[in-house]
Amino acid sequence: MFAELNRYTKESLTAKLKNITDVAETASETGQGAASAESRIRRSTEAGDKARVAFLKTLFVGRNVFSLFPSENTVYVDTQEQATEVINALQGIGYKNIHTYVPKVCDGNGGSKNDPENNLAVQFSAKEEMIIGDCAKGMIKLFAHLVDEYKDLVVHTYCYIGDYQLTFRDKDAAYALVDTVNKYLGEVAQLAKEHGKKGFPTHDCYVEKKSLDLFVANIKLKHA
């Protein structure tokens, strides 16, 4: 169905979208004359966004799309079957960080309502991790022997100062990892107590449903 999309990989599509953005933004700067810096940036950004959307619509056979960055984009569909087709196509070219959600729009009263024009949205991102600082790297290393069994099923990793989040499309895998970590930390805490060790961090591990098809295994450590 998505023959043009299949010509790319995740990496080459991201590079293509970045190039399209650069070309469009450069072209938009021509003829802006004495426009303010703010106006130039706004017009340049809009030109890049429109160029990416136009290109992505050709890849997804005219479906509505939204492009936040070259690395993060959204395709709108009418049914779950169509969403599955899009997801399968994206996975086929190397994307892992994909999720489905019900898009919202403003209801005019300060709240939101379901988008009347788009039933479902499939967001896909080329970025699969956000690991901030050396403490985060140490925390990931601490749990590596537990996470390794599930690493092929993780679609996104976030870690920052005691907050470790592993996102799965597989609900059972997310719960299994949390059970494993809870058991491990419970055993370590008990050993620390038996040996009179104080200041052992408390922990909170649980699964959170992030969207229609993503589940986040949260591992949170807090030092006493």
The domain spans of the chain are 5-125, 129-222
Nearest to 121 by CA among 174, 180, 78: 78
Q: Look at residue 33 and tell me whether its pLDDT is greater than 70.
A: no
Percent of the chain past pLDDT 70, that is, above it, reads 94
Residue 31 is predicted with a pLDDT of: 62
Residue 30 is predicted with a pLDDT of: 75
Q: If you average pLDDT over residues 46-62, what whole number do you get?
A: 96
CA distances from 114 to 102, 121, 170 (A): 7, 11, 26
Percent of the chain past pLDDT 90, that is, above it, reads 78
Give the pLDDT band of residue 107 (cuts 50, 70, 90): confident
Residue 222 is predicted with a pLDDT of: 82
Contacts 24+ apart (CB under 8 A), 18-27: 18/70, 20/48, 20/51, 20/52, 20/55, 20/70, 21/48, 21/51, 21/52, 21/70, 22/48, 23/51, 24/48, 24/50, 24/51
Distance, in Å, from the CA atom of 161 to the CA atom of 141, rounded to the nearest integer, reads 13
Q: Look at residue 79 and tell me whether its pLDDT is greater than 70.
A: yes
Question: How many helices (H) does the chain have, and how many strands (E)?
Answer: 6, 11
Residue bearing the bigger pLDDT, 28 or 134: 134
Distance, in Å, from the CA atom of 45 to the CA atom of 86, rounded to the nearest integer, reads 27
Contact 170, 155 (CB under 8 A): no
Q: pTM for this one? A: 0.88
Which tens digits make up the pLDDT trace of 92-105? 999 999 999 999 99
